Amino acid sequence: MTSPTDFLDEELAALREQGLYNTIRHLEGPQGASLSIGGRSVLNFCSNNYLGLANDPRMVAAATAALERYGVGPGAVRTIAGTMTIHDELEQRLAAFKGVEAAISLQSGFTANLGTIAALVGEGDAVVSDELNHASIVDGVRLTKASRSIYRHADVDDLARALGEARDAGARRVLVITDGVFSMDGDLAPLDRIVETAEAHGAMTMVDDAHGEGVLGRGGRGIVDHFGLHGRVDVEVGTMSKAFGAVGGYVAGSARLIEWLSQRARPFLFSSAVTPPDVAACIAAVGILEQSTDLVDRLWANAARFKEAMRGAGFDLGHSETPITPVMLGDVALARELSRRLFDEEGVFAQAIGFPTVPRGKARIRVMVSAAHSPTDLDRAAEAFARVGASLGVV
């Protein structure tokens, strides 16, 4: 008997053959510097939990209190069921933290990108996007009828070319979009020069600060603060699922932008809001960052310590400018083997990443350093890398 879904077996087999099949580890407890996997404790270098907030007792207490006051669910989309005051509070706190007029909370960073791009540009307009932008930006661009052009990664001259072409083609509105921090290499968009170039062409600028907030800028205020560009970046998209330790997305900007998104962003209009305990945890995270820069400072100190140890051991760390630490290996089979042996022999969980997430021949292990790691954790991990790396002839 054949079934119309038989192709799924073939496609899955093809993924396995090409080495593209994702195997997911099962965690038996919370996110933290170490994880419980298969009854074993392993050091964790895979999460975006930059500040260790995912299991912070202050976050848990805030979520618990909100659960008791507001319950578990938002009821329906906010435009229909009404919005809980806790969502309003998060938006006000985020706007103040980011130094903008207003913010709007969405379900995730992914939906924030999906909703925002199509609300800002349509037929007759143009989007100009960095070639390495996140999948949610790529998909967001697919949802608009605007014309699109891709510029070479972080290349401002190529951006200027694409902007000139958009104008020559008679585009009405033009939107430049870039990730702030590129998550596979840990490098920064040259946002100051991108903004200048966009301004010179009368284009809007949108930055996705998912890996920058809680990491870059004063006290983790993000990439716009890092470059001192307040008031010059039209749209900031963010996530609450990385440094902020919870879940949810948001857009920050002018009051009129946020008002427009509350009328026109489709994920806002057609998908329910994040739950009250999530929102309370997000508010607590903003409060923790406003109170002290300790966690952000520790994150950077930890990243510096780990990178120094790894460079000392002879590893190539690419061109990272952030705590994202790619250990460049080139060959995907080698990256997988190093990752597997680190896990099995050394109790160090660090994921190998290959094509299509990164270009062919640029496979790596991406090490995510966190403020939650102790100096001993970092030294142990670097020693484990050196041992396994030496036995594989990498260093």
Ligand X SMILES: *Cc1c(COP(=O)(O)O)cnc(C)c1O
Candidates 107-115, 215-223, 311-319, 341-349: pick the segment binding ligand X (CB under 6 A): 107-115
Write out the two tokens for 245.
């330790």
- The single residue of 147, 183, 241, 320 carrying the catalytic annotation is 183
Would you say 139 or 157 has its CB closer to ligand X? 139
- Assess whether 362 carries a catalytic annotation: no
Candidates 84-92, 104-112, 139-147, 312-320: pick the segment binding ligand X (CB under 6 A): 104-112
Q: Note whether 266 and 115 are within 8 A (CB).
A: yes
Give the nearest distance from C-beta 267 to ligand X in angstroms: 11
Among 134, 221, 336, 373, binds ligand X (CB under 6 A): 134
Residues 223-252 close enough to bind ligand X by CB under 6 A: 239, 241, 249
Could you tell me the CA-to-CA distances from 380 to 44, 125, 315, 318 in Å, in that order? 12, 52, 15, 21
Would you say 182 or 343 has its CB closer to ligand X? 182
Candidates 1-9, 105-113, 148-156, 299-307: pick the segment binding ligand X (CB under 6 A): 105-113
Among 136, 178, 275, 351, binds ligand X (CB under 6 A): 136
Give the nearest distance from C-beta 243 to ligand X in angstroms: 11
- Assess whether 242 carries a catalytic annotation: yes
Cα 277 to Cα 54: distance, rounded to the nearest angstrom: 13
Would you say 238 or 354 has its CB closer to ligand X? 238
Active-site residues, by number, are 183, 211, 242
Residues that bind ligand X (CB under 6 A): 108-110, 134, 136, 179, 183, 208, 210-211, 239, 241, 249
